[in-house]
A and B are shown apart, each in its own frame.
Chain A
């Protein structure tokens, strides 16, 4: 009996212990509390001095693009608090690892929050409109009264919202990356695609000419021979790939199509099994024997035969590939935005690093400036506590100041990270340390925390940041400011500029006519959505296509490659590939018609 008592006692003891631990946790929170209080009151003082009549508004922001749940903190939160006395409570559907379950439960609850951010003009957006869960911004002149900058600056975005989704009069959501600009490529200094090679090695080889995409292989082989080992003594490869981004197709097998002016979508309808030209009336199926998808698979297959493909490519994830690139195991990069993984300041000073090396026939797919806004949306929830104040806040994100602060690559608070001299913006020394997204501590008067965590977590650019800031006559994107571009370029950048005779990759590509711009169309109707039955077929066929694509790359010989391709075609077609493809081809044709009308 005594023994049992002891056992029970020890159980109780454990609970007490946990409770004690919890108490410690509670205490540490209390310790934090005064600090918070200070900043709170400071913020309140600032807030009250500007907008004395408004009380604190806790805005629920349901974002399908964000990755953080909880109250927005840091410097952006401070700005919003001071200006609007608002606190942004982020509800992110991505936190559960993707999927639409979170959205579904929010829909079921009948309340989508104060601000809703949609990932596309898809069924979700339309169901939300249909079930009355979005607030009509045109109702009682809300947008005229509180959204003046949107009305005056982005009338086309409003027109699209009304005509395509609002039955001609209602506004339920505004598209992202809207731009009040003449047509042209909307990207920044770099395009979305390169390809980029290890410039130092390419230079050492005497910069051999690369005419077609297949010509990269012999060059990469020579580069590999030149540098067979990475920094830590591991073998180098041309391509180190990853499979966890594969959606409807093998993601990395699409990238060469994008460098030839095709993409998975026409940028209006959803994407699927068709590769659609940016500016011509050309459509390819994934399984077309003379199509770009198969050509790319063949390229990777040959590369593997030459020992240029990392054997881990099949099993590794994106982050493993990133680690390899960091170490210098990779010699080829599809995406310029990955360059900085390898291009550390130290390496750049030695002239080492990735830089653009295009092939002669290259036509990089470019998204044109879009006055209507692209297919991600910001909306006001129908249960918003105070739609007027929310509208005011959204409107601010369309003003020059709001664009600089709220984008996903923001420049940060003025006076801290940047400032203006002679009417031109420049980065402060602090800004050079903190940007683009470094975890550098921010002084308490600017909101505390670190710069990276303080960035707006909505993760949507309402205005295209490469558009021109009216006061500076320079883009909103700080990476394109003249002061930044001319600020002490590294040896790598100098070498590249001297050799290519251009300031930025985009400039070079534009000069050499290597861009094809997909100009947005105005259709006067909502994009079609794929029927669930067809979607199911698509999912099953896509699973087969993805799997066989990888197998083909690692095929032992040409015969096996061809055999696998045949198997892939047969299986995918058995699962309804043709029917799905036809659907997408039909949609693309409609867009071609609209492109005609525009001309």
Chain B
């Protein structure tokens, strides 16, 4: 990745290159907050820790980007900036387990199995969507490959360090690797209906996945045989099979786009047959129908990252209910709420609050859906997802309780650095202006079909600025 980056750097930076060369290396990597402090005392806030109750008039001491202390009447050591948050609410930075922002391609829709590719190779630190997500209190996003293929590419867990220009600096350093699977209408629509190839049915989806995992098993056996001397040659290197072998070893977490109850049960059976324990379903509109089965999967249950209330946009989500998150939660499933679409993640706190209309989740249960629960789903809950000493100082400050419809984010900290400031930030937060583009044009937002790049029923491919996306036929 380093070599790719350095070779692309001059091209990618375009007009800002000159400015970059004139500054120090550290600042050059962060156009906005290169010198920003990461030591803070946030004072007199209502602190919603999520994992350890609520602290009225609480303080949070941030040292070197980490939460050093949570308590009351803390004093600021010298050199530590103080933020007076009296009357305001602090919650852990919001984590979204399913998102497609900040990448220049989404779907490698060329083969039923493409585990060899990864969106981590196409991160776009200039995406204004990253800043806008920060303005909604989001600090971490699981940026995902699309849902074209039964086994898609690898995803990337990023921290929203908007301002950095090195794409690698967006990556969350110790986050486990994950890979996208996709079941149901998207792969069957693209391959079956669109190309007259397997899978056309959910039966086909199962067999594509079984075949790929079996191949990976054989690949591992050959590697093993080579290591023990039972085989003279190692198997021919396959990046695709290396990734799938990682899945079988439990090193790479399966994150599966799926909707219907039957396909949820199918994939749980397949992974159980291959001894895979880690599984998070995404969208999962019919998860509520098999909530007990999801909770019983593997050692810790299968996770479910759901929409708050989306339904009826295609047939496999027609028999949905906005009470999905509440039913899953009450049945012991680790559930999270996502928005999927770039630009839609700015009100995840509202989406979480809806579980108090659709079901009666408590404040902590509702906040967990966008903090500690998605952190667990991504295997990063020891670093983020709650306000606890020792965790990263990823914090979102609101002027009212974050579950109120009237609340507004005030500040968002990532690793102790203020990356969004309602008061201070100028209107135009672009990191660069595309020298080739028409300045200041309105985006393609008007078309009702433009948005759902990963979601819409798949009947053909369409090339857009985001790469090849799946579009509904019009």
Do A and B make up one complex?
A: no
Residues of B within 8 A of A (CB): none
